[in-house]
Amino acid sequence: MKKLLYILYFFSLTIKAQDILFVGNSLTYSNNMPEILEYIGKQNNISIKTASLCFPNYAIIDHLESGKLQQLLQKKRFDYMIIQQGPSSQAQGKQMLLEDGAKMKQLCNQYNTKLGYFMVWPSVTYYYTFDKVIENHTLAAQKNSALLFPAGVNWQEYNTYKDKESLYDHDNFHPSKAGSFLAALTIFHQLYPTKNLQQLPFKKYKKWVTDEDSFNLIVKVIDKK
């Protein structure tokens, strides 16, 4: 009887598996961010399965025009499609987020998939454009009735604190392992907002964030959203 109760309890803690397709470029595939998301899910008794269609320097329009995305959607059903391109702070980038995002929304509707935007961040050189990056991604998600995964918002707030592990890699644009962890945890929190991030044990995530104070700050910034 105790064994049966334990099994029932375990399954009550396990949330339905989610299949997620990431469509983007190197800001997504750096440090295999989708794999980090899967790992976070596993640590919380949630089965997350990811697939990636990500190529260097690709924008949303490149994926639409290549045809590979459409072929993939015909073969497999996904619960979510999370799209990402460059920072998109300028007028052209904003237009691409809106118009090409609308085409992605049509595809998602066709295949009964939820659309989400993975909001990224600007390079250190163009850090002054950060507010526009946030504004344009937020608007695009609203206009296209899509989910928003605001990694950029959390990235910006984290950087208001000094002497913490850098979210940027050596090129001052791509994410460090800590930056990819922040992005993955942002996505996880948006998908499962009732999960208590404060209970995440630092020792299980040292592969990506080596400094405990920095880890705790990432959790704090994301958890209060």
Angle between the N-to-C axes of helices 212-223 and 177-191, in degrees from 0 to 180, rounded to the nearest 10: 30
| The total number of residues written for the chain in this structure | 225
* Residue 18 Cα distances to 85, 101, 159, angstroms: 23, 22, 31
Reported as a pLDDT band with limits 50, 70 and 90, residue 1 is very low
pTM as predicted: 0.92
At CA 217, angle to CA 198 and CA 170, rounded to 5? 130
For residue 118, the cross-strand partners are: 149
Reported as a pLDDT band with limits 50, 70 and 90, residue 224 is confident
Q: What is the mean pLDDT of residues 204-210?
A: 98
pLDDT in tens, 41-50: 999 999 999 9
At CA 73, angle to CA 69 and CA 78, rounded to 5? 115
- pLDDT for residue 89: 98
User: Distance between CA 100 and CA 64 in Å, rounded?
Assistant: 8
User: Distance between CA 85 and CA 62 in Å, rounded?
Assistant: 10
Looking at every residue in the chain, the average pLDDT score rounds to: 93
pLDDT in tens, 5-23: 333 333 334 456 699 999 9
Q: What is the mean pLDDT of residues 51-56?
A: 98
Q: What is the mean pLDDT of residues 58-71?
A: 98
- pLDDT for residue 5: 37
For residue 81, the cross-strand partners are: 21, 115
Q: By percentage, how much of the chain surpasses pLDDT 70?
A: 92
For residue 116, the cross-strand partners are: 82, 147
- pLDDT for residue 2: 44
pLDDT in tens, 88-104: 999 999 999 999 999 99
Q: Residue 192: in which H helix or E strand, if any? A: none
pLDDT surpassing 90 at residue 67: yes
pLDDT surpassing 70 at residue 173: yes
pLDDT in tens, 111-165: 999 999 999 999 999 999 999 999 999 999 999 999 999 999 999 999 999 999 9
- 136 with 86: CB under 8 angstroms? no
- Both structure tokens of 71: 């072929």
Say which residues have a Cβ less than 8 Å from residue 16's Cβ, sequence separation at least 6: 47
pLDDT surpassing 90 at residue 77: yes
- Both structure tokens of 49: 């399965």
* DSSP calls for 14-48: PEEEEEEEEEE-HHHHGGGHHHHHHHHHHHTTEEE
Q: Is 10 helix (H, G, I), strand (E, B) or coil?
A: helix
User: Distance between CA 102 and CA 146 in Å, rounded?
Assistant: 9
Reading phi first (left if > 0) and then psi (alpha if -120 to 50, else beta), residue 112 is in left
Least confident span in 5-14, 65-74, 207-216: 5-14
